[in-house]
Chain A
Amino acid sequence: MKSQRTLAYLLLLPSTLFLLAFFVVPFIQVAWLGLTVEGQPTFQHFQTLSADWKFGPAMKNTFMLVGILVPLQVIFALAMAQMVAKLERARDIILYIWTIPLGVSDLAAGLIWLAILEQTGFLNSFLNAVGLIKGQVNWLQYGNMWALLTAVVLAEIWRSTALMLVILVAGMGLIPKEYAEAAEVFGAGPWKRFFKVTLPLLKPSLQTALILRTILAFEVFGVAAALTGTNLPVLLGETFNWQFNLQDRSVASAYALIVLAISVAFTLVFLRVLRVRSEQRA
């Protein structure tokens, strides 16, 4: 027993040390960077960043993106997962195709949708060819906030719904078929079966999918940069700007602290609202 315990600790040692050094310690450091000046505690960096005119728009845009994106993705991913469950033929190849975007970075997704939405892009070429528009429309015009937002939401739905889909499909695979069958015997229709049987049993997977997606959605960066340049400021884009272009690590760290606080808050909300009792975890 004792040698087993030693072996277990030895096996865990490298990853524990690694996570302490590169996950726990950097957190303390980022708080230190964002909250001190020459060793003295201060809110100065937060004052600097909130005085910048881009802070308000970055905050607003990021929250709007997450608020539009994540609910839509939950609906699409649930619908797609239900379709997967009903597939009779070619299930493997269809699943592969639907999960392809899982391997696409947000930068690449942004560039791909730029090819479609740019002024001389494929959307305009298509609309022009079928006669719906004449000439070119500048969809990604500076100042047209809603158009820019829609472009980023489209690209993100295209790219990252697959992440939710994978988690939900795996979760549905763990639900015994007997439950739905029993509900059917008692006369429950498809919608009732979905809302009264599948959805409650899917709660643990739904919780994970929501936490992962929401946190990743607040990290939106590459998509927005590729599609809008700096015309649609987002939180991580501004963090990058302060760190890389303005060379002010403290203000960048203050931005990072804001994103961190938002992420942790949302995780706690999802853990609380979609509370899973331990016996519900299959």
Chain B
Amino acid sequence: MNPSKASRHLFTAGVVLICAWVLVPIYLVLVNTLSTPAEVTGWPKSFFPSFHLDSLKFFINYAGVLKALGNSLFVAVLTMVMAIVMGAPAGYALARFDFPGKGAFRLLVLMTRAFPLPLLALPLAVFFIRSGLDDTIFALALVHSTLALPFAILVTFSLFSGIPVELEEAAWTLGCNRIQAFWKVVMPLALPGIAASGVFAFVTSWNEVFAAAVLTIENKTLTAFLIQSLDYSPAPLKFAGAAVLVLPALIFLFAVRKYLFSLWGIANR
């Protein structure tokens, strides 16, 4: 075997090995999820699932799980909507206009990166109690939006910057006003990217643990439910919970994989 062929095999082996490193742990938690509770706590473990739905049924029927699942979904959708509705206009303004204060606004957005934002749930808890918003889905979505909004602004900024302003100008000369030109020309081009940044916002909220655990008591999200019950919850519940947490994120990431590098990677610089 010549050396260049050997090094190519080594390279391929490395790539396959990293794929396995990522996929095998997810596979193993799925094996646990699709086995009976007795198998999940049993020894030694089989590396193939017995395809029983008992663990999943146990998870779904466990008191509070369904509600937590619904809450997680609700908070994530609310976060997504707030991040896009506030973030996309700001991204557009940054991409299209020059104005005094632009630098200051960008600094404010970038500064959010230097801070562990979930910690803000602590002072906000006090504010939420005073305003009667404590332990609500909406309050948690507000905190999750502080995580998702700066992302949405930066991603839509790089998205709108990539759409030539000449297209809009052409629409104006053809008789569109500013709003019409935006909806008819810019929006169709930007929509997939905006949807992608919405998905990032959704996943951010869906996965957030600390703020959810601090701010919710009766209205727990799934992450809050799982972390608050770690001490006493049975193993099948934990692993089915992990699988249910992971799967939607996998599907959504697959849907937006095209934008992961072009928007997310670059907007993050």
Contact = CB atoms under 8 A, between A and B. Distances in A.
A114 interface: yes
Contact of A240 (B109, B213, B246): B213
Most buried by B among A24, A112, A173, A216: A112
* CB-CB nearest 5 A-B residue pairs: A170-B265, A103-B249, A105-B207, A29-B123, A111-B242
A103 B114 contact: no
Interface of A: 4-5, 7-9, 11-12, 14-16, 18-19, 22-24, 26-27, 29-30, 32-33, 80, 83, 86-87, 92, 94-108, 111-116, 118, 120-122, 124-126, 128-129, 136, 158, 166-167, 169-171, 173-174, 204-205, 208, 211-212, 215-216, 218-219, 221-222, 225-226, 229, 236, 239-240, 243-244, 249, 252-253, 256, 259-260, 263-264, 267, 281
17 contacts: A16-B108, A18-B146, A19-B109, A30-B120, A30-B122, A103-B250, A116-B28, A125-B45, A158-B25, A212-B268, A221-B209, A226-B238, A236-B119, A244-B228, A249-B122, A249-B125, A267-B113
Nearest to B111: A23
Nearest to B238: A111
Given A26-B123, A115-B32, A103 B207 contact: yes
Contacts of B46: 125
Given A15-B87, A22-B146, A103-B207, A122 B245 contact: no
A215 B90 contact: no
Contacts of B262: 170
Contact of B253 (A29, A102, A260): A102
Q: Chain B, interface size: which category?
A: 35 or more
Interface in B66-102: 82, 85-87, 89-90, 92-93, 96-97, 99, 101-102
Contact of A243 (B214, B227, B239): B214
A126 B210 CA distance: 34
B214 A100 contact: no
B190 interface: no
Contact of A19 (B113, B122, B149, B238): B149
Contact of A229 (B44, B96, B108, B230): B230
Interface in B223-269: 223, 226-228, 230-231, 235, 238-239, 241-242, 245-246, 249-250, 252-254, 257, 260-262, 264-266, 268-269
B97 A8 contact: yes
A113 B25 contact: yes
B151 to A, nearest CB: 11
Given A30-B122, A249-B126, A264 B115 contact: yes
A240 to B, nearest CB: 6
A94 B29 CA distance: 21
B269 A253 contact: no
A8 B265 contact: no
Given A11-B89, A100-B26, 18 more contacts: A5-B99, A15-B86, A19-B108, A27-B115, A106-B209, A111-B226, A112-B25, A120-B42, A169-B261, A170-B261, A170-B262, A171-B265, A211-B114, A218-B116, A226-B230, A236-B116, A260-B116, A263-B116
A115 B235 CA distance: 9
Most buried by A among B97, B127, B143: B97
B207 to A, nearest CB: 3
A169 to B, nearest CB: 6
Contacts of A219: 116, 118, 210
A111 B59 CA distance: 15
A108 B122 contact: no
Contacts of B119: 30, 236, 239, 256, 259-260
Given A107-B226, A226-B230, A8 B99 contact: yes
Given A171-B265, A173-B261, A256-B122, A263 B114 contact: yes
Contacts of B18: 80, 83, 98
Nearest to B249: A103
Contacts of A9: 99, 101
Contact of A215 (B19, B31, B115): B115
Contact of B126 (A12, A33, A97): A33
Contacts of B102: 8
Contacts of A97: 19, 22-23
Contacts of A218: 116
Given A112-B29, A170-B265, A26 B114 contact: no
B265 A167 contact: yes
B105 A170 contact: no
A120 B213 contact: no
B214 A240 contact: yes
B223 A105 contact: yes
Most buried by B among A107, A174, A253: A107
